[in-house]
C-alpha cells in the first residue's frame, strides 16, 4: 500500500534558522508528492508539489525535491519566520486506483522570535 512517514514534532527553531522537515514514502505506482501547510484554526493550503523524479517544487521560500532513489521529499527553507509556525503535512497521490491523498502524520513547526 501507500504510506508517508514524517519526522516527529514539534520542531522548535529561532527566527532566521534553517528548516528541514523529513518526509519519506512508499507507494505502488508513480506518485505525485505534495506539501500542505495548516495554520492554527484553518484548512490546509497547498504549499508546493512535484510530479516526477528530480522535480523541485518551490513556493514562499520553501523547497522540496522529489528523490526517487531515496523515496524522499524533504521540505527545506533557508530562513524561517515566526509567521511560518504551522503544521506541515507531506502527502502523495498515485496515478492508479483511488488517487486519493495519503497524508503523513504532520509536523508542527514553532518559530520563536
Partner 1 sequence: DTEVTQTPKHLVMGMTNKKSLKCEQHMGHRAMYWYKQKAKKPPELMFVYSYEKLSINESVPSRFSPECPNSSLLNLHLHALQPEDSALYLCASSQGRLAGGKTYEQYFGPGTRLTVT
Task: Report the distance separating Cα 75 and Cα 19, nearest Å.
Answer: 8
The three cell numbers of residue 100 are 486519493
Q: What is the DSSP letter of 82?
A: G
Q: Among the candidate windows 18-26, 38-46, 59-67, 75-83, which touches partner 1 by CB under 8 A?
A: 38-46
Cell 519526522 found at: 7
Q: Which of 32, 64, 75, 86 binds partner 1 (CB under 8 A)?
A: 32
Is residue 66 a contact point for partner 1 (CB under 8 A)? Answer: no
Interface residues with partner 1 (CB under 8 A) are 31-32, 34, 36, 42-46, 49, 51, 89, 93-95, 98-101, 103-106
Amino acid at each position: 500500500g501507500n504510506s508517508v512517514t514524517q519526522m516527529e514534532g514539534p520542531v522548535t527553531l529561532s527566527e532566521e534558522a534553517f528548516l528541514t522537515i523529513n518526509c519519506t514514502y512508499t507507494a505502488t505506482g508513480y506518485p505525485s508528492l505534495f506539501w500542505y501547510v495548516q495554520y492554527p484554526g484553518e484548512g490546509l493550503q497547498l504549499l508546493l508539489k512535484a510530479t516526477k523524479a528530480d522535480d523541485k517544487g518551490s513556493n514562499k521560500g520553501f523547497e522540496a525535491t522529489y528523490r526517487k532513489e531515496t523515496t524522499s521529499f524533504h521540505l527545506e527553507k533557508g530562513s524561517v519566520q515566526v509567521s511560518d509556525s504551522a503544521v506541515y503535512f507531506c502527502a502523495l497521490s498515485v496515478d492508479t486506483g483511488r488517487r486519493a491523498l495519503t497524508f503523513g502524520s504532520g509536523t508542527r513547526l514553532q518559530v520563536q522570535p
